[in-house]
Amino acid sequence: MSLIPMVEKEGLLSNSLSQPTRKSTGPLKTSIYVLLALICTGTALYSVQPHFFCGGHVGTAGGDICPQPGVLVPSKNGALWKGLVEETYNSQEFHDRAVNWLGGAVRVPTESFDRMLPVGEDPRWDVFGPFHDYLLTAFPLIHTTLELTKVNTYGLVYVWKGSDETQKPLLLAAHQDVVPVNPETADVWTHPPYSGYFDGERIWGRGSWDDKSGLIGIMTTIETLLENGFKPTRSVVLAFGFDEEASGLHGASAIGKYLLETYGENAFAMLVDEGGDYMVEYGKVYATVGTAEKGYLDTRVEVASPGGHSSVPPPHTSIGILSSLLVHIEANPFVAHLGRGTPMYLKSQCLAAHAPGLPRSLRKSLTDAARSDKALRKAEEALFADPRFKALVGTTQAIDLVQGGVKTNALPESAWAVVDHRVATDSSIEDVQKHETELLKHLASAFNLSYTAFGKQISEPGVPAYGTLTIDEAWGAALAPAPVTPSSGDAAAPFNLLAGTVKATYEAHRNISDGNGDGVVVSPGIMSGNTDTRHYWRLTEHIFRYSHHYTGNQTWVAGGAHTVNEAIYVDSWLEQIRFITTLILNADESTSL
Known catalytic residue at 261 = no
Residue 210 is labelled as binding a ligand: yes
User: Which amino acid appears at position 326 of this protein?
Assistant: L
Strand partners, 148: 158
Q: Is 589 a catalytic residue?
A: no
Q: Alpha carbon of 24 to those of 6, 19, 192, 441: distances in Å?
A: 15, 11, 74, 70
| Among 217, 230, 206, residue whose Cα is nearest residue 79 | 230
CB 3 within 8 A of CB 37: yes
The closest of 180, 187, 104 to 138, measured between CA atoms, is 104
Output b/e per residue, 260-286; b: 16+ Cβ within 10 A.
Answer: beebeeebbbbbbbbbbbbbebbebbb
Is 114 flagged in the annotation as binding? no
SS3 state at 33? helix
164 annotated as a binding-site residue? no
Which residue in 177, 211, 302, 588 is the catalytic one? 177
CA distance linking residue 8 with residue 18, whole number of Å: 9
Contact status, residue 565 vs residue 197, Cβ threshold 8 Å: no
Catalytic residue (choose from 211, 223, 243, 244): 244
Please give the Cα distance from 383 to 405 (Å, whole number): 43
Write down the H helix ranges in 412-492.
Answer: 429-439, 441-446
Angle at which helices 373-383 and 360-368 cross, to 10°: 140
Report the residue count for the chain: 593
Alpha-carbon span 308 to 201, nearest angstrom:
61
The answer to whether the beta carbons of residues 588 and 167 sit under 8 Å apart is no
490 is in an annotated binding site: no
Instruction: From 572, 543, 556, 488, select the one nearest 270 (Cα to Cα).
Output: 543
Residue 175 annotated as part of some ligand binding site:
yes
Alpha carbon distances (Å) from 110 to 105, 122, 245, 275, 535: 9, 14, 11, 20, 21
Cis ω for the linkage preceding 211 (within 30 of 0): yes
DSSP state of 178: B
For residues 489-518, b (16+ Cβ closer than 10 Å) or e, as one string?
Answer: eeebbbbbbbbbbbbbbbbbbeeeeebebb
* Residues 410, 412, 413, 418, Cα dihedral to 10°: 160
Binding-site entries:
175, 210, 245, 273, 562
Q: What amino acid positions are annotated as catalytic residues?
A: 177, 244
Binding-site entries for Zn(2+):
175, 210, 245, 273, 562
